[in-house]
Amino acid sequence: MTALQRAALAVTHKASQWRATIALLIAALAFTALPASAQRPREAAAPVAIEIVAKPIPAFETRDVGLRRFGALEYRGGIELTSPHKDFGGLSAIRVQPDGARFLAVTDKGNWLRGRITYQGDAPTGIADAELAPILGPDGRPITARGWYDTEALEIDGDTVYVGVERVHQILRFDFGKQGLSARGQPIPVPPRFKTLPRNKGIESLAMVPKGLPLAGTLIAISEQGLDEAGNILGFLIGGRTPGEFTIRRSDDFDITDAAVLPAGDLLILERHFSYLRGVRLRLRRIALADIRPGATVDGAVLMQADMGYQIDNMEGLSVHRAQDGAVILTIVSDDNFSLLQRTLLLQFTLLEP
């Protein structure tokens, strides 16, 4: 999203329309007045423990606080996150471990965020043991030192972690099992068309298909708004037995911000739509993995939609894990763009369909 869009998004959260409009204009003008060097993310220090403060979000629907079911999802709970640390924010992707507590996330400024979600019953209550660290490149320096910004996509495959860097159209591979937060990212080969994606609408989603499912061993990479000639969203099948390109049918001007493979074997995609009049909207679609193959255009059923009448912001990160009782849990996080006018949210839902 552009700086103007980021500021405009906050308008819907303000009680007074004219005050929000003034804030929008000030934020946009302040950003465009900065020199290019000042707009670049600052390099993070070595791994550091940070404090994260959580405010509960007991109801997802602001107009009917007793409502718990939304489409095929049931709301479990959520938290709004803040921190005194200057580099906290900009969460663009997250992966929650099978225990439902430990997680790894990436931020727009090229940082890892690692920690543990705490709970009261089924509802998340806070973040403990949080650490920030710079994402390192092949030379051991922070990737931001070489101008690799906008780390937007994340996937974990055993001891290996993949990170998508949007602005330079790279996917980095990390030996996380041995090196953890100090692992060095090595670029992996990507298809030629991958390099032609729009500069700020490039790779946004990574999902590794596990063994036993169609496309097993394939890394699915999906762009935010890289479109084919028919206006559908470009996706790439990297590795596996059938590498190639496919597209996802685009509808209602929604962009794809993340994706994850469900235990039952389908691909779940998180989508966002923004307009100046309506603010931001969220949508989740489910696509059959069996339909995805080189040359295919795929579509899927909508599981849930939400607008600014719900507790949402710029929702960009999606993770799926199975709880001990067998329930499939979705964790969705928002990217506040490091703006005082936006929020960092962590929301959790139970998927009610098989």
- pLDDT at 319 > cutoff 50: yes
Query: Cα–Cα distance between 7 and 28 in angstroms, integer?
Result: 7
Q: 103 - beta bridge partners? A: 96, 115
Q: Answer yes or no: is pLDDT of 4 > 80.
A: no
Q: What is the pLDDT of residue 1?
A: 56
Q: What pLDDT shows up at residue 38?
A: 35
Instruction: Evaluate if residue 234 carries a pLDDT over 70.
Output: yes
Indicate whether 84 pLDDT > 60: yes
- Reported as type and span, the H/E element at residue 245 is strand 244-248
Pairing of strands 53-57, 315-322: unpaired
pLDDT band at 352; cut points 50, 70, 90? very high
The pLDDT value given to residue 21:
36
Of all residues in the chain, what percent carry a pLDDT higher than 90?
Answer: 81
Q: Work out the pLDDT band at 164, boundaries 50, 70, 90.
A: very high
- Answer whether residue 187 shows pLDDT above 60: yes
User: Using CA atoms, how far apart are residues 209 and 217, in angstroms rounded to an integer?
Assistant: 6
Question: Does CATH place domain 47-351 in 3.30.420?
Answer: no
Chain centroid to CA 344: how far?
Answer: 12
Residue 48: what pLDDT? 96
pLDDT in tens, 35-76: 333 344 444 357 899 999 999 999 999 889 999 999 999 999
Instruction: Note the pLDDT of residue 40.
Output: 45
Q: Which pLDDT score, from 0 to 100, does residue 74 have?
A: 98
Q: What letter does residue 169 receive in the DSSP assignment?
A: T
Average pLDDT, the chain: 88
Least confident range of 89-93, 132-136, 185-189, 275-279: 275-279
**Residue 276's pLDDT band (boundaries 50, 70, 90)?**
confident
CA–CA distance, 256 with 268 (Å, rounded to integer): 11
Euclidean distance between CA atoms 9 and 118, whole angstroms: 29
* pLDDT value for 354: 60
C-alpha–C-alpha distance, residues 187 and 136, integer Å? 12
pLDDT of residue 277: 83
| Structure tokens that stand for 332 in this block | 């969705």
Q: Phi/psi of residue 275, each to 5°?
A: -145, 155
Percent of the chain residues past pLDDT 70, beyond the cut: 87
Give the Cα separation of 354 and 345 in Å (integer). 27
Secondary element (H or E) of residue 161: strand 160-165
pLDDT exceeds 90 at position 79 = yes
Say if residue 219's pLDDT is above 90.
yes
Mapping DSSP to helix (H, G, I), strand (E, B) and coil, where does residue 260 land? strand
Task: Collapse the DSSP code of 206 into the 3-class scheme (helix H, G, I; strand E, B; otherwise coil) and give the result.
Answer: strand
Length of the chain: 354
Question: What is the CB neighbour count within 10 angstroms for residue 243?
Answer: 14
pLDDT tens sequence across 281-304:
999 999 999 999 999 999 999 999
Evaluate whether 268 touches 262 at the Cβ level (below 8 Å): yes
Lowest mean pLDDT: which of 78-87, 96-105, 195-204? 195-204
* Mean pLDDT score, 92-111: 97
Q: What is the CA radius of gyration of the chain?
A: 19
Element housing 303 (H / E): strand 301-306
What are the residue ranges spanned by the domains of the chain?
Answer: 1-39, 47-351
Here the tokens at position 39 are 């707009």
Mean pLDDT (whole number) for 3-25: 41
Could you write out the three-class secondary structure of 28-92?
HHHHHHCCHHHHCCCCCCCCEECCCEEEEECCCECCCCCCCEECCEEEEEEEEEECCCCCCCCEE
